[in-house]
Homo-oligomer: A and B are copies of this chain.
Amino acid sequence: ERSYCVTLLPGDGIGPEVVAVAKDVLSLAGSLEGKSLSLKIDLLSCVCLNDKFRIKFQFKEMPIGGSALDAVGVPLPDETLDTAKGSDAVLLGAIGGYKWDNNEKHLKPETGLLQIRAGLGVFANLRPAAVLPQLVDASTLKKEVAEGVDLMVVRELTGGIYFGKPRGFGTNDNNEDIGFNTEVYSVSEIDRIARVAFEVARKRNGKLCSVDKANVLEASMLWRKRVTILASEYPDVELSHMYVDNAAMQLIRDPKQFDTIVTNNIFGDILSDEASMLTGSIGMLPSASIGESGPGLFEPIHGSAPDIAGQDKANPLATVLSAAMLLKYGLGEESAAKRIETAVIETLNRGFRTGDIFSSGTTLVGCKRIGEEVLKC
């Protein structure tokens, strides 16, 4: 039996609903570990339950974002960060909501998210965007363009303009008010994210596209230089470079040309969201954020959707798939991860859909129910 501590950070809006479902799925996937992929097959083939292979989870739920602001006045309480740091992996729901939109920077829910990313040192954000055959119609792209899209954006997450200093407000030479931020990357920051990306590309289809704006920005010139140098250590990976404006176009023109994309924090923010929308089902997309060591942070890419919060309408599958990434990238439990992924696909094959991915001929269900259907698979 293996045992792990998982910190749950439900957060705001639909966060609590989707995390609750993912927690149940994670538990069951753990208790089924060591058996064949589906319980049904286990029973049919009379394989005995073998507790030795079980994965046990100890969950700790902590506040973050707007709900932490409401409860204790800060978007990332110290106890939340400490608990997260002391655990084996962290599963986050979503943060933010209209209520806190006009808060000052240090009291924004988003700030809590940036703080936990920095606090855990999770510099590599992996964002897969794949068009599932079951959901190809959900894409606004033509079927022949969307079909078969399967890419991964590796986004640098703890550097660049998000965290660069100096930043703030001031005045310029004309005594005018200004707002400013610094886009900055060091060699080691670039190298470590590039290495993660080369490794990811190696395990995928061996193609890595590094996206920058090296025709204008010095920070991008250094980025391109380092990525190019590191490429010699990964001769099996085919490296290309693309300017960010062109990448934004190519993702729409021909998304299948991409396998793995690596880019900085802000370009990754934009391009991974763009890529996710190609699938038409961002309610399905997970993400993993990992560091050098220490627990990873796993979260759906969608937001807190305050307008449907508490109505049992949210799609929990992105969080369920984030739990699968938690198993795979966070704990090295690949077979349990696979079990979850298979159960999600199976649930879709059986026709169950939440509102965001509903199409005629399928069965519309709520957040809890689709979770129960996943548990049955």
Chain A residues proximal to chain B, CB less than 8 Å: 96, 105, 108, 110, 114, 140-142, 145, 161-162, 164, 167-169, 172, 174, 176-188, 213, 215-223, 244-246, 248-254, 266-267, 269-274, 276-278, 280, 282
Contact = CB atoms under 8 A, between A and B. Distances in A.
A187 B176 contact: yes
Nearest to A303: B246
A215 B168 contact: no
A155 to B, nearest CB: 11
B273 A222 contact: no
Contact of A219 (B145, B179, B249): B179
Given A140-B253, A270-B244, A278-B252, A180 B184 contact: yes
A102 to B, nearest CB: 10
Nearest to A109: B215
Contact of A180 (B164, B176, B272): B164
B273 A249 contact: yes
A218 B184 contact: no
Contact of A245 (B161, B172, B269): B269
Contact of A169 (B164, B167, B218): B218
Given A167-B218, A181-B218, A245-B270, 4 more contacts: A114-B216, A179-B221, A248-B274, A270-B270
B222 A177 contact: yes
A218 B141 contact: no
A105 B252 contact: no
A270 B248 contact: yes
A282 B249 contact: yes
Given A141-B140, A141-B142, A172-B186, A178 B222 contact: yes
Nearest to A104: B221
A248 B273 CA distance: 7
In the complex, which of the residues A176, A186, A267 has the most CB atoms of chain B within 10 Å of its own CB atom? A186
A213 B269 CA distance: 10
A200 to B, nearest CB: 21
Contacts of A218: 105, 167-169, 179-181
A110 B216 contact: yes
Contacts of A250: 277
B215 A110 contact: yes
